Amino acid sequence: MITPADAAVVAAQIGRAPRGLRAVAHRCPCGLPDVVETVPRLPDGTPFPTLYYLTCPRAAAAISGLEAAGTMREMTARLADDETRAMLERAHLDYLARRDAAAAEVGVDPLPPGTQSAGGMPNRVKCLHALVAHELAAPGSNPFGREALEAAGQWWSRGPCVTAPDERPGEAVPKEAE
């Protein structure tokens, strides 16, 4: 379950109304959501394959910097190693199992076999944001996500990325807008 206050924070973080919110999957050290879990299908039945979303704009910017530096290409090249490939396959299977469990919990059909998981798994690294969100939501589940987290540094060190609704009347707002 997600509270209205958490939904307002997430909307401020991503700059739009979020779709398919199910729960806060992880909280930043500042206390605000930084990863949310979504439902596997939207109310109209549309598949929504990405279970975990990294919502904190500071975390997303740190991860974007890693992507721009070529980290995804380097990680994908490492998949030529059987052990590394098996590691990402395990992360992929964990993600699929969690997504299927979420579908069962909300009473919707699971997504069809063969539906993508997230971040390019298991054959490549396409989106570090998705791998990091998976690792934050389920610690120990995604070694590439963990590696990216370690490389990203402490994005939370400047404090909350938005003002929570209980700190200021009205909706949550980005810190930069204050």
DSSP 81: S
Using alpha carbons, select from 31, 65, 21, 33 the residue that is nearest to residue 133.
33
Query: What letter would DSSP give residue 118?
Result: S
The amino acid occupying position 104 is: A
H-helix segments, the chain: 4-14, 57-68, 71-78, 82-106, 128-137, 143-152
What does the block give as tokens for 84? 């590394």
pLDDT tens for the chain, 178 residues: list them: 889 999 999 999 999 999 999 999 999 999 999 999 999 999 899 999 899 999 999 999 999 999 999 999 999 999 999 999 999 999 999 999 999 999 999 999 999 988 888 999 999 999 999 999 999 999 999 999 999 999 999 999 999 999 877 644 445 555 554 4
| Cα–Cα nearest to 158, from 138, 173, 132, 176 | 176
The full length of the chain comes to 178
Q: What is the spatial distance between Cα 23 and Cα 52, in angstroms, rounded to a whole number?
A: 10
What's the pLDDT score for residue 172?
A: 53
**pTM: predicted TM-score of the whole model, two decimal places:** 0.91
Q: How far apart are CA 128 and CA 83, in angstroms?
A: 20
